[in-house]
Amino acid sequence: MAAETTAGARLPLVVLISGGGSNLQALIDAERAGTLPVDIRAVISNRADAGGLARAGRAGIATRVLSHRDFGNREDYDRALDGLVREFEPELVVLAGFMRILTPRFVAGFRGRMFNIHPSLLPKYPGLHTHQRALDAGDTEHGATVHFVTEELDGGPPVLQARVPVLPGDDAERLAARVLEHEHHIYPLAVRWFADGRLALDAEGRARLDGEALRAPIQLDDASTPVGHLS
């Protein structure tokens, strides 16, 4: 199905970041290229020094900083974050390197309307230091996963995975860079499926693509030819 990129049919997004924002950039670039029918209404960071804020600024996207340091506890921060996100009336919230654990209350408020990208082949290696953990385990394959966000950290239904080989001589940095390149491909694709109304979280908490419950995430690897779902 071709993406509708006509004005007015674009899905309103808010993107949450904490860092460099290369995944944010991939979304901006896809939108600009006309392959992603979204309207990125705001980029919100919990850190004023997040490099992604400059990327958003250059693209003419509204930016906000909501520092966790200004709040005494997680509940208060997430309540403020919820209010700030809602000011922009997004239909999808995109976590793109947002390095905060979200409260169940915040997550419940965006059930089925929030994605995260995680740099591992979930359910392997939720949490931090995923690249080093994959190397330490002697894995020959690693990757990244786009998933719906639920209360369980990095545990929501996975939608799309990119698999990348672990190569001789890899260290965590080299492996992370290779994975990141693939993240930039799969994140806009998953968001596009959602924007096109093809992807949803059902009442039982399963991801559905084109009406079909996904028993496993769609896989994309170096050798794969885009077929079927992958268009």
The footprint of ligand GRF (CB under 6 A) covers 17, 19-23, 52, 96-97, 117-119, 144, 180, 183
Known catalytic residue: 131? no
By the 8 A CB rule, do 120 and 146 touch? no
Q: How far is the CB of 130 from ligand GRF (least distance, A)?
A: 8
By the 8 A CB rule, do 34 and 8 touch? no
User: Which member of 118, 131, 142, 182 is catalytic?
Assistant: 118
List all residues 6 or more positions away from 220 whose beta carbon is below 8 Å from its beta carbon.
160, 161, 162, 163, 182, 185, 186, 189, 230
d(CA 189, CA 181): 13
By the 8 A CB rule, do 184 and 26 touch? yes
Q: How far is the CB of 182 from ligand GRF (least distance, A)?
A: 10
Q: Which is nearer to ligand GRF, 19 or 155 (CB)?
A: 19
Q: Which is nearer to ligand GRF, 117 or 218 (CB)?
A: 117
Q: Which is nearer to ligand GRF, 21 or 89 (CB)?
A: 21
Q: How far is the CB of 37 from ligand GRF (least distance, A)?
A: 21
d(CA 90, CA 94): 10
Q: Which is nearer to ligand GRF, 9 or 177 (CB)?
A: 177
Q: How far is the CB of 99 from ligand GRF (least distance, A)?
A: 7
Rg for the chain (alpha carbons), in Å? Answer: 17
Q: How far is the CB of 91 from ligand GRF (least distance, A)?
A: 21
Of 184, 230, 181, 178, the closest CA to residue 209 belongs to 230
Q: Which is nearer to ligand GRF, 41 or 118 (CB)?
A: 118
Of 111, 102, 182, 107, the closest CA to residue 142 belongs to 182
Q: How many other CB atoms are there within 10 angstroms of residue 2's CB atom?
A: 8
By the 8 A CB rule, do 62 and 42 touch? yes
Q: Which residue of the chain is nearest ligand GRF when measured via CB?
A: 97
Residues identified as active-site: 118
